[in-house]
Amino acid sequence: MSQKPRNRNFSSALLGIWMAAVLVVGVGVFAGLYWLIGSRQAAPAATPTVSLPTAQTATEAPIATEALPATAAPEQPVESACAYPPLPASGFGYGIQAHSLVPGLDPASGFNIARNQLHLYWSKIQTRWYTIEPAQGQYEWATLDNAMDAACKNGMRVMLSVVAAPGWTQANPLDPNLGEAPPDDTNAYVGFVSALIDRYPGQIQAIEIWNEANLEREWNVAAGVDPAAFARFVQTTAASIKAKDASIFVISGALAPTGANCFDVFCNGTGTRRIVMDDAQFLTQFLQSGGADQNVDCIGVHSNGTNLSPTADGANPPDKAGYTFLGPWNSPHYSWAMKSQVETYAAILDQAGIDLPQCMTEFGYASPVDGKFPPGYEFAADVSEELQAQYLVEAYEYMRTSGHVKLAFLFNLDYGPLGGEPDQDDNTIFSIINKGGIPRPAFEAIGSMEKP
């Protein structure tokens, strides 16, 4: 979920407002931190100078300025020229997100590490529409071409998370400092997704339709956050994807765990424009509006690791002895832990009569680097590197055996050596490779864990 640069003064001001508000709303503590701190996946400001293990010298391809001709919708699923290894017998998708869209960086290194050292099968590539089609009909494919080619050559299945509409799709765009927005016309998004499928036939195994639409940060429209509007957006796009290539696994855009409802910046009252919506309520109304129709294969979700074990109950946390960050005890809520969150969503799906799995398109656990972490990530202080490794293995294992989760993407492989300082850039503390390019304990733990 990398983002366009945001106005940090604006974010800081809102953070102060939010922290006051959560004294009233309680469970909004976690939601506020997640929303206002912003995306964990912002791209580094400069080209990295530290090489990853087995990294190669990159040569950037020329930028293409014309779209490929559209192809007719296939009658059968498109065959792939890529040599993908067989999936585990369980059918569970072990995935990860690596830096693959940095101009001048050879993405083959990250994919090679993920496949051959971590023995993972899937890679998430977040595809920012405005970077590829900055002007209508003018495409800049080079960076994504490199990433898709590298994934194919290394046998990594790809899930594209397609986000961030360009300004030309919006007649009256709102303040970009408040977040990103979908296009005015969903058919414009459909057209871009279709162009992706045409350009990479047989190389896209899954597509996530948008991201965290229960936040203004990702759904910045005049009407505010609206699960019914998002359901229509997903329905239209999913139908188009299946018409293009029926084999593509379609995932509804993951929700941000919030536990709060906020209007017009404030979370301690009502207002006219919703800017944050409780994820459980959003999912319920999304399903009621037909968001999970016959063309959707999976419900996208995110889990933000804190200082609790993934198999804990965030609404009923364990004894607090030994913990320094007490958020789960001060404001108990299911979203403090993966298991209680997944089970909450599963109950909502069951109540709606929807027989679909969840796809964890982002999860991770933060651990300080050299004792440092950014403000707002105090829960990381309770998670040593060894505990980070234990929690990540437990998370994969829980999801595989839960009966609720089909596919999971760890955030992240290598944002440590490519990101900023750990007291400023939270990408770094979630990375399983350190700033010096040295694997953290989680790297070895994931590489050696069984993947049945």
Q: Dihedrals φ, ψ of 335, to 5°?
A: -75, -5
Tell me what pLDDT residue 309 has.
98
pLDDT tens for 62-117 read 223 233 333 334 445 567 789 999 999 999 999 999 988 887 778 899 999 999 99
Angle at the Cα of 384 (from 379 to 387), degrees rounded to 5? Answer: 100
266 CB-near residues (< 8 Å, 6+ apart): 17, 21
Q: Give the pLDDT mean for 367-385.
A: 97
**What is the pLDDT averaged over residues 429-450?**
96
| Token pair 């300082």 in the structure block, residue | 421
Range from 7-21, 120-134, 185-199, 341-355 carrying the lowest mean pLDDT: 7-21
Token code pair at residue 84:
């993908």
Task: Quick: pLDDT tens for 207-242.
Answer: 999 999 999 999 999 999 999 999 999 999 999 999
The dihedral region occupied by 178, where left means phi > 0, alpha psi between -120 and 50, and beta the remainder, is alpha
Backbone φ and ψ of 364, nearest 5° = 180, 170
What's the mean per-residue pLDDT of the chain?
85
The answer to whether 279 and 258 are in contact (CB under 8 A) is yes
Q: Which long-range contacts (CB under 8 A, 24 or more apart) does 333-337 make?
A: 333/27, 333/30, 333/259, 334/259, 335/30, 335/257, 335/258, 335/259, 335/279, 335/303, 335/304, 336/30, 336/306, 336/308, 336/312, 337/306, 337/308, 337/309, 337/310, 337/311, 337/312, 337/313
User: Is pLDDT of 184 > 60?
Assistant: yes
State the DSSP H helix or E strand holding residue 234, giving kind and residue range, or none if neither.
Answer: helix 227-244
Q: Is the C-alpha dihedral spanning 382, 388, 394, 395 positive or negative? A: positive
DSSP-derived secondary structure for 65-93: -SPPPP-PPPSSPPPP-S-PPPPPTT--E
Q: Identity (one letter) of the amino acid at 283?
A: L
128 close to 167: Cβ distance less than 8 angstroms = no
What is the band of 59 on the pLDDT scale with cuts at 50, 70, 90? very low
Please give the structure tokens belonging to residue 411: 């955030």
What pLDDT is stored for residue 77 in this prediction? 59
Strands 298-304 and 358-364: parallel
Phi, psi of 127 (to 5 degrees): -105, 110
d(CA 35, CA 47): 27
Is the bond into 412 cis (omega within 30 degrees of 0)?
Answer: yes
**Structure confidence at residue 423 (pLDDT):** 96
The token pair at 204 is: 């896209």
Entry pTM: 0.86
pLDDT in tens, 132-182: 999 999 999 999 999 999 999 999 999 999 999 999 999 988 888 888 999
Domains and CATH numbers, the chain: 8-44+52-448 (3.20.20.80)
> The tokens of 290 are what?
């037909």
pLDDT at residue number 313: 98
The length of the chain in residues reads: 452
**Nearest-angstrom CA–CA distance, 342 and 346:** 6
255 φ, ψ to 5°? Answer: -90, 150
- Residue where the block lists tokens 């997944």: 342
Average pLDDT over residues 293-318: 97
Q: Measuring CA to CA, which residue among 64, 63, 54 is closest to residue 106?
A: 54
The CA distance from 361 to 253, in Å, is 9
Range from 55-59, 390-394, 399-403, 415-419 carrying the lowest mean pLDDT: 55-59
In the chain, the amino acid numbered 361 is T
